[in-house]
Structure 1
């Protein structure tokens, strides 16, 4: 049976519905489950590092980004395996098995009780948890990265040449499945993580948060295997990546070897490989290089896009997430992107593009990508404008050369004090209006015989309480927070001026025993109306409630006049150290809308463009190249953020905007000179010429052999001269 007949036989396996191969249903479901698995695991990964493995923020962040980088670097390996040895189908199967094992290992690594022999709440053998976690992440990075360039290209292979319109729609549906999986998993896995589980000790349920994504990966693999008999499976065509690299290397070396003017110029520098490689391969390499050259500016888009999960989330921690019936935490704002994707992709695909076509505008794929980059730049302009508004509401924290202090009167009576040159009047159990800034030690005058020199450490905030010992006033210093609480939480602490030790709890958290004239540590409390339960050694109890917003910090002052009873909560005085966030998170929606609109016309189009312009045997390679731009984009973020060292976040946003606009201009010029091709026609043309070219090359080799043979039969001097020339 000929290859052509085999191809027809494979094509006939896949029945169609409404013009679409049934086989793509299995591919889309596979992608949905796989993306649920990946994003669900990643949503809680940093928290797992910090609160289970007990790593500090910096190290947890480093390992997290290393993992993400690996996930976008390994597609190159997957593309080589698919195009060179196994083919896309087997590559997806084998690496999905590796992927599934990795997810299972991650779930096992999070089982708290596997090493907890003392039942004390802390794993005895933390190194085992770390080793299993690193092994699981390595397998996941290899699996998800390895199949990433194959699945989209494999889906494209299911369509015949006359189904170009359906194939274009498939890429939009494919992208929808990615974002649907991302949206659901980002909402669900944090809820699973927040559950309590464990045999001996109750902990946050990371095994469940990792276990559900592992189960979805099993479903993904099962669904893909079920559709096996319907797929159009393109066989691998040799070690194409090695061939391409050798072909490029030979063309470069051959060009420099014959750089003298006596050799005729060639139309393209890759034509210098014709002495060794056939014209079909050279033509395919030219097509790949044309697209890869266009990829050079693309990482800048991803440099802005991926900051949704970092800079924009940090921005949201300084904003108000109260939407009335719904309360949104800062890290949940990331779900706006997949929600908008699910809305915008059908609108753009079925309404916007057809409307543009009816207006007879030539909105080519590269023009779409240019518009997408501009929209991303506008999104960062919007983010900068929001940041400017936020900065006006933020407290002025001390620089590295000054200290700040505020004063609380814990005496049952009004007092007048002087801090440096600042006279202050304090009512009983009240605080000064705001922090005062001091760049050197200052005199604190509390009255006759009560004057002290106070030296505040640079870069710190302090609360100085005034107490009375017999007839003498004195002060006590406590260190305050110098930044907004993380994730929009509220930092709360208790100042006990009561004449006995108190124990205070809020929910499941406890401040511990607080002795008289002492301050507790900060505890993070979520937005809402929490209940603070105050108890003494006798078992008396008082419940105090306070409505909290986002990102505030309070010191709850329990005065010496406090007494347990029905109205005990009325005497407690809340002192606001950091005001709550006042700019609403809804102001982030425009920047998410712009960025997501840019993603729709940039990323979906890029996937389709990469497939349509790729030679038949190098589609996975170009898909890997496309994904590699994402990894490079993340590296750009780190480089720019470190090199710029801008104090104002809005300025950094505008810096990224400027870089993207510059890159966008470069890309638009490159796109203007790009000529769209039909790889199938080009390959057919050179495939038809290939037998003739081989015969011609064979004849030329015979001619050279005969000529060199004649030279050998000539004089010794002639032969020697020829050899010297060849050297």
Structure 2
């Protein structure tokens, strides 16, 4: 087989540091940058879908999990390309270029000024941004998935046979670089996203949040190429995964070809491959198939686990992220997972597992995995409980057949109000408490004057009572009908002053507000907001108000407002939507449970797969393991679309129930599993291999002799028939 330009030894003698090849430095840095790039982009992805592309929660979740599924399907393609064609080094380089290009395209797609923008700063040509985003995500999925099975294996290739200890340490450092990249990126990219950027209009800076990971991916590629001359590059030897698939395919085809009862039954269905493949390979495939069978229920765990980046992040947008000294962004809550991994892995290995062993409990790997799945199910029950608390704090918005109304008195005297069957008195520059709901036309009575009032179905309205000469009259303004997004606060001003006023907060401008008119809503972030109120003469008043997350206020500037003294004290604040009151800290228990489940399930699962895999087929089981992650994300799409549950907490309970059911199925399958030592099995068949080859050669010779005799008999029969026909013709 051609080596495609690959060299087994480096061009230059690689230096060593403390017994380690210096070439692994480039590989570790490459992995850190690549994982920073991937997890940083993924941390803000679902929010990008919802708030930039304006997709709803369900569609944003669907595309998010489709992308993740693709990222875990492409490793199979990468492994085949590397082992059968290009080799690991070239595969990593070429697919990293594709990867970096995808990240750059994502960054460009998030520049909202690249096309014309609407008044709110959202792109006008949304089709362009969506198309560019999809191209970017496909390239990223191909790149990150394609290099996934290659980088760690390429790092292992840099060590000689006598460096087994150093190789083991390298894999620990490699795993640490993955978690370090993940942790830092999920802290930094949400901060970048929260910044405001733009040339013509200001908006959340998703282009920067994608641009920095793109830059890190370019750095990863450059660092990896710089070390090229120091690497040991093994030539592609053919992909064992392809060979396994061919062996299984031949066994199935051969079995169905010989369905008749005249052929003796065989102990295992893979034994039908004996006509073409040696018994050692068949025995190895049997071991692989045995483990792969146990993988069947595993995707359900990943279906829950990967919702940290979708449903749980969206849940955090409706919560309070004020931790005192820190303000946590919704997408930053994902950092809890890598932090807990770094804490829990050593605790489990050094304390929990030894304690269980001391108690003489037979806590086998498959039992650990079952417990891990159960932890994940409990985590989703915890998420459902948190969601119930959130739902209780959310305002009741109108349905499609009803409207809601609030009244504000802008008259300098109390006003009795009768709205339908509701009677109350409004004090000057005050609003009634809460919204009133109507499903039909009602009469609004103001001091004996009736006004037939019709509300727009599905909308909220504020009716301002003003004085028109000696008469009171209502004037309506449309309110927002949903919680402000991304934890922002929707603020507007009602100007009762006798002159036109201009209001600004930070870089945002409410514009010139006419007398007895309402401004547009402006999104103001959490914290101490400072509003500057200016009249045409240049006089200024500074009003401050502390804002939480997800609230909406109407700030009333009364007719008595004066710039001369205590101007801020005369401004009245009316709460239209209360701020988020459920704290993000309540998500920590569910993150703890799912991370504990991950540590017990994932780490143990990889260890179990490695211990039960034949020496030359560990990559096959690795590909199978990654495939379970992809299928898990597909399950999210299927369940979410099929269930169509209105309440999010009910969907959480549904996923938890499905995983509990799968737990019992997996426990039942694990009960009948027999642990093996692949090395012993391989040794037994290796001793018999020459004998098996001789038998197979003898069988092949016998088969050929049989075929030749059969052909000779047919030719002899044909010849006899021809002679008989000639005789008859002569007669």
Q: Fold match, TM over 0.5?
A: yes
Change beyond 3 A, Cα 1:668–1:262: same
User: How far has the Cα of 1:354 moved from its partner?
Assistant: 3.4
Confirm or deny that 1:536 pairs with 2:535: yes
Q: What is the alpha-carbon distance in structure 1 between the residues aligned to residue 231 and residue 365 of structure 2?
A: 28
Change beyond 3 A, Cα 1:348–1:185: same
User: How far has the Cα of 1:322 moved from its partner?
Assistant: 1.8
- Residue in 2 that maps onto 1:289: 289
Q: What is the alpha-carbon distance in structure 1 between the residues aligned to residue 391 and residue 127 of structure 2?
A: 43
SS in 1 for 2:547: coil
Q: Is 1:84–1:241's contact at 8 Å kept on the other side of the alignment?
A: no
Q: What is the alpha-carbon distance in structure 1 between the residues aligned to residue 684 and residue 236 of structure 2?
A: 21
- Residue in 1 that maps onto 2:348: 348
Q: What is the alpha-carbon distance in structure 2 between the residues aligned to residue 587 and residue 205 of structure 1?
A: 28
- Residue in 2 that maps onto 1:138: 138
SS in 1 for 2:654: helix
Q: Is 2:190–2:331's contact at 8 Å kept on the other side of the alignment?
A: no
Confirm or deny that 1:38 pairs with 2:38: yes
Q: Is 1:420–1:443's contact at 8 Å kept on the other side of the alignment?
A: yes
SS in 1 for 2:77: helix
Q: What is the alpha-carbon distance in structure 1 between the residues aligned to residue 700 and residue 587 of structure 2?
A: 68
- Residue in 1 that maps onto 2:548: 549
User: How far has the Cα of 1:701 moved from its partner?
Assistant: 2.3
1:506-551 deviations in Å (ceiling 9; x for gaps): 1111112222222222221111110111122222221111111122
Q: What is the alpha-carbon distance in structure 2 between the residues aligned to residue 85 and residue 230 of structure 1?
A: 22
User: How far has the Cα of 1:426 moved from its partner?
Assistant: 0.8
Q: Map 1:290-439 to 2 at 5 A.
A: 290-439=290-439
- Residue in 2 that maps onto 1:628: 627
Q: Is 2:43–2:309's contact at 8 Å kept on the other side of the alignment?
A: no
- Residue in 2 that maps onto 1:724: none
Q: Map 1:474-485 to 2 at 5 A.
A: 474-485=473-484
- Residue in 1 that maps onto 2:189: 189
User: How far has the Cα of 1:378 moved from its partner?
Assistant: 1.3
Change beyond 3 A, Cα 1:682–1:84: farther
Q: Is 1:465–1:475's contact at 8 Å kept on the other side of the alignment?
A: yes
Change beyond 3 A, Cα 1:455–1:164: farther
1:205-261 deviations in Å (ceiling 9; x for gaps): 666544433343344345545666887766543244443333222222222222233
- Residue in 2 that maps onto 1:660: 659
User: How far has the Cα of 1:429 moved from its partner?
Assistant: 1.1
Q: Map 1:145-224 to 2 at 5 A.
A: 145-154=145-154, 173-193=173-193, 209-224=209-224
SS in 2 for 1:706: helix
Moved more, 383-392 or 350-359: 350-359
Q: Is 1:39–1:186's contact at 8 Å kept on the other side of the alignment?
A: yes
Moved more, 125-134 or 672-681: 125-134
Q: What is the alpha-carbon distance in structure 1 between the residues aligned to residue 353 and residue 231 of structure 2?
A: 30
Moved more, 618-627 or 34-43: 618-627
User: How far has the Cα of 1:571 moved from its partner?
Assistant: 1.3
- Residue in 1 that maps onto 2:250: 250
Q: Is 1:79–1:621's contact at 8 Å kept on the other side of the alignment?
A: no
1:295-330 deviations in Å (ceiling 9; x for gaps): 221121111112222222222223222222222222
Q: Is 1:33–1:216's contact at 8 Å kept on the other side of the alignment?
A: yes
Q: Map 1:408-557 to 2 at 5 A.
A: 408-448=408-448, 450-557=449-556
Moved more, 653-662 or 36-45: 36-45
Q: What is the alpha-carbon distance in structure 1 between the residues aligned to residue 107 and residue 530 of structure 2?
A: 35
Q: Is 1:398–1:404's contact at 8 Å kept on the other side of the alignment?
A: yes
Q: Is 2:62–2:637's contact at 8 Å kept on the other side of the alignment?
A: no
Q: Is 1:82–1:620's contact at 8 Å kept on the other side of the alignment?
A: no
- Residue in 1 that maps onto 2:581: 582
Q: What is the alpha-carbon distance in structure 2 between the residues aligned to residue 346 and residue 688 of structure 1?
A: 41
1:47-103 deviations in Å (ceiling 9; x for gaps): 666777x66567776655544333222112112213333344443343223323444
Confirm or deny that 1:99 pairs with 2:99: yes
User: How far has the Cα of 1:658 moved from its partner?
Assistant: 0.7
User: How far has the Cα of 1:184 moved from its partner?
Assistant: 0.8
Change beyond 3 A, Cα 1:406–1:131: closer
User: How far has the Cα of 1:419 moved from its partner?
Assistant: 1.3
Q: Is 1:402–1:458's contact at 8 Å kept on the other side of the alignment?
A: yes
Q: Is 1:70–1:141's contact at 8 Å kept on the other side of the alignment?
A: yes
- Residue in 2 that maps onto 1:605: 604
Change beyond 3 A, Cα 1:198–1:528: closer
1:175-213 deviations in Å (ceiling 9; x for gaps): 432221111112223444556778999887666544433
User: How far has the Cα of 1:406 moved from its partner?
Assistant: 1.6
- Residue in 2 that maps onto 1:644: 643
- Residue in 1 that maps onto 2:725: none
User: How far has the Cα of 1:374 moved from its partner?
Assistant: 1.1
User: How far has the Cα of 1:688 moved from its partner?
Assistant: 4.1
Q: What is the alpha-carbon distance in structure 2 between the residues aligned to residue 582 and residue 114 of structure 1?
A: 37
Aligned residues: 706
Q: What is the alpha-carbon distance in structure 1 between the residues aligned to residue 160 and residue 360 of structure 2?
A: 27
Q: Is 2:65–2:634's contact at 8 Å kept on the other side of the alignment?
A: no
User: How far has the Cα of 1:653 moved from its partner?
Assistant: 1.5
Change beyond 3 A, Cα 1:112–1:657: closer
Q: What is the alpha-carbon distance in structure 2 between the residues aligned to residue 707 and residue 178 of structure 1?
A: 60
- Residue in 2 that maps onto 1:4: none
User: How far has the Cα of 1:660 moved from its partner?
Assistant: 0.7
Q: What is the alpha-carbon distance in structure 2 between the residues aligned to residue 657 and residue 547 of structure 1?
A: 39
Q: What is the alpha-carbon distance in structure 2 between the residues aligned to residue 570 and residue 619 of structure 1?
A: 72
